[in-house]
Amino acid sequence: MKLFIIIDALIKGGTERRMLELVKTLSNDKNFEIYLVSLNDKVDYSYVYDLPIKFEAIERKVKRDISLYRRLYKNVKEFKPDIIHSWGTMSSLLLAPIAKLQGIKFVNGYIGQAPSKVKLSDKFYYRGLLTFPLSDAIVSNSMAGLKSYRAPQKKSFCIYNGIDFKRFENLKDPGNVKEDLFGSKDDTSFVVAMVAAFEDRKDYETYIKVAVKMCSQNASVKFLSIGGGDKFDSIKALVPAALLNTRILFLGKRADVESILQVIDIGVLLTNTTVHGEGVSNSIIEYMASGKPVIATRGGGTDEVVFDEKNGFLVDYAAENQVIEKIEILLRNKERAAAMGKEGYKLVHEKFDAIKMSQNYVDLYERLLNR
């Protein structure tokens, strides 16, 4: 089977990682030939160059490059794929008509978020209206996402994220991780972590308010913030100097997140639901793959992976006191925290395996080709 896969960019992000997990898995199968195109020449996942696929990162001199359509049309015509699979809104706008003109099955996979309210003027919704009629299948990583964007039911499929569990093998020694982070292999702090981009769509403001209040009252807790983004410096500035870098740590972008997750006690993902609706967050399933309980903002796809009081807690947006309450429950009851972590670990291995995700996509491709 020949697959032409296209994405808007290969910068750090959940959609990009999901797509690459699929490509990695299928590239090891001789039954698949893959041509991957990124519409941006910035590549944060350098290992893509080592995969046994054809890969092209397109440099665009101007935002609206009219020659791009002709270039992609020619590439598709020469490659002769069985399936075109788009993972972005701009990718879908460009490739949906190309697929239609060349008689190729088109999988529209741009839905990776699930806002509670979508305005008719929203550009992502508008692009869906334009591309859904030209799509043979519309895929989201959450049921909530399909509902949010009003995807046609007969064409809609939910395929959950999949992660490669080998990423959680052969990790750094936990003692060495603690020494690197806290200065001592024997550090016994209760550690809370949030792995997320410092952008408007994440609610780091509430997370830091919680961290400052709890660290001011309890000497046994520490908070980690992992990620980068436009708001990194402004969020960091909210922390009093007495707590910064000793009790509340900003680690920036890290390539060893899996090793760090070994030494945390709770994984947190707080979302700014006024501007963003989560699909299924990779951070959440990574916390669970590490056997950690989760505290997350309710809504969207998060409700499909975090089951309140079973594998974690759901809280309302910007509900500082709720977050503190849930952390304190787990801080006081280590057995309950461990039990929640085990439930999450079990769930993620049952539903969010990269191999299972890839097989679900293959099943979809084959269904489309056999129609």
pLDDT in tens, 347-368: 999 999 999 999 999 999 999 9
Check pLDDT > 90 for residue 301: yes
| pLDDT over 70 at 61, yes or no | no
Mean pLDDT, range 201-220, rounded to an integer? 97
Amino acid identity, position 314: L
Q: What is the pLDDT at residue 197?
A: 95
Write down the pLDDT at residue 62: 65
Residue 117 confidence class, pLDDT cut points 50, 70, 90? confident
Same domain, 358 and 346: no
CA dist., res. 295 & res. 297, Å (int) = 7
Q: What is the average per-residue pLDDT within 32-45?
A: 95
Q: In this predicted structure, what is the pLDDT of residue 60?
A: 72
CB 5, CB 110: distance < 8 Å: no
* pTM (predicted TM-score): 0.92
Look at residue 189 in the predicted model and tell me its pLDDT: 97
| Residues 347 and 363 occupy one common structural domain | no
Predicted confidence band at 371 (pLDDT cuts at 50, 70, 90)? confident
Nearest to 18 by CA among 88, 96, 104: 88
Whether residue 134 is found in the same domain as residue 192: no
Instruction: Give the pLDDT mean for 171-196.
Output: 97
Q: Which structural domain, as residue segments, surrounds residue 328?
A: 166-351
Asked whether residue 134 falls in the same domain as residue 206, the answer is no
Looking at the structure, do residues 19 and 59 belong to the same domain, yes or no? yes
Q: Cα angle at 123 between 138 and 4, to 5 degrees? A: 40
Dihedrals φ, ψ of 194, to 5°? -130, 120
Do 170 and 217 fall within a single domain? yes
Q: Are 272 and 113 in contact (CB under 8 A)?
A: no
In angstroms, rounded to a whole number, what is the distance separating the alpha carbons of residues 208 and 212?
6
Do 82 and 154 lie in one domain? The reply is yes
Residues 192 and 313 in one domain: yes
124 plus 170 within the same structural domain:
no
For the chain, give the mean pLDDT. 95
Q: Which amino acid is at 233?
A: D
Q: Are residues 126 and 203 in the same domain?
A: no
Domain check: are 331 and 214 in the same one?
yes
Distance CA 97, CA 225 (A): 42
- CA distance linking residue 50 with residue 164, whole number of Å: 17
For residue 236, what is the enclosing H or E element?
A: helix 232-236
pLDDT classification of 120: cutoffs 50, 70, 90: confident
* CATH number of domain containing 91: 3.40.50.2000
Q: Are residues 205 and 345 in the same domain?
A: yes
pLDDT more than 70, % of the chain: 99
From the list 8, 283, 2, 279, the residue with the least C-alpha distance to 159 is 279
Counted domains in the chain: 2
Please report the pLDDT score of residue 65 as a whole number.
73
Give the span between the Cα atoms of 97 and 94, in whole angstroms: 7
